[in-house]
Amino acid sequence: MKVLIPSSLRSYTERSEAQASGSTLAAVLADLERQYPGIRFRMISEQDRIRPHIRIFVNGEQVRDLSRSLRASDEVIIVQALSGG
């Protein structure tokens, strides 16, 4: 499936879009990690939760559950929030 990568993580993928497979969001992120070592840690905490500054959307709907089922035709968009003061 198509995964859109935010600019802050493109140092891993060297492109704005990647292909990954898996039947759940966790499996898709594991496949991205297999292809681009180190990328998963930037999105998922040691407690196996999506980091607070990361938003993941599946077909336009925000998803927080890593066990969310996915289909090969789904589109995953990863967004990294910006902060400042």
Mean pLDDT per block of 10 residues along the chain (85 residues) reads 96 97 98 98 96 96 97 96 67
pLDDT computed for residue 85 by the predictor: 56
Instruction: Give the pTM.
Output: 0.91
Domain spanning 2-80: which CATH class is it, in words?
alpha beta
Which residues, other chains included, contact 80 with Cβ-Cβ below 8 Å and sequence gap of 6+?
6, 8, 9, 53, 54, 55
Residue 63 to residue 24: CA distance in whole angstroms: 11
